[in-house]
């Protein structure tokens, strides 16, 4: 079973960073460099999501055995 904090970091943080904030930011008229703030926020969420998944892997999955991965034959 997966720990709740792992799901919260890996899925919860990125979802909460996008779903409630983008509709609010889309209503703003500000556009730095001609790009709407909602678009800038979405592009900023890409590294945020990668960092959240990296934290989950480094903290929990890095030390797990790879026994469940399929073997690759090198013939």
Q: Give per-residue pLDDT as tens, 28-72.
A: 888 899 999 999 999 999 999 999 989 888 887 666 666 665 666
List Cβ<8 Å contacts ≥24 apart for 54-62.
Answer: 55/9, 55/10, 56/6, 56/9, 56/10, 59/6, 60/3, 60/6
Distance CA 28, CA 62 (A): 41
Distance CA 19, CA 65 (A): 34
Distance CA 23, CA 57 (A): 30
- The model's pTM: 0.69
Give me the pLDDT at residue 58, please: 85
The residue behind tokens 């959240």 is 52
């Amino acid at each position: 079973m997966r720990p709740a904090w792992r799901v919260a970091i890996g899925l919860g943080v990125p979802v909460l960073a996008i779903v409630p904030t983008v509709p609010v930011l889309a209503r703003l008229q500000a556009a730095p460099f001609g790009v709407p703030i909602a678009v800038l926020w979405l592009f900023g969420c890409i590294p945020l999501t990668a960092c959240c998944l990296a934290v989950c892997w480094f903290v929990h999955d890095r030390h797990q055995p790879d026994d469940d991965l399929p073997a690759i034959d090198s013939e």
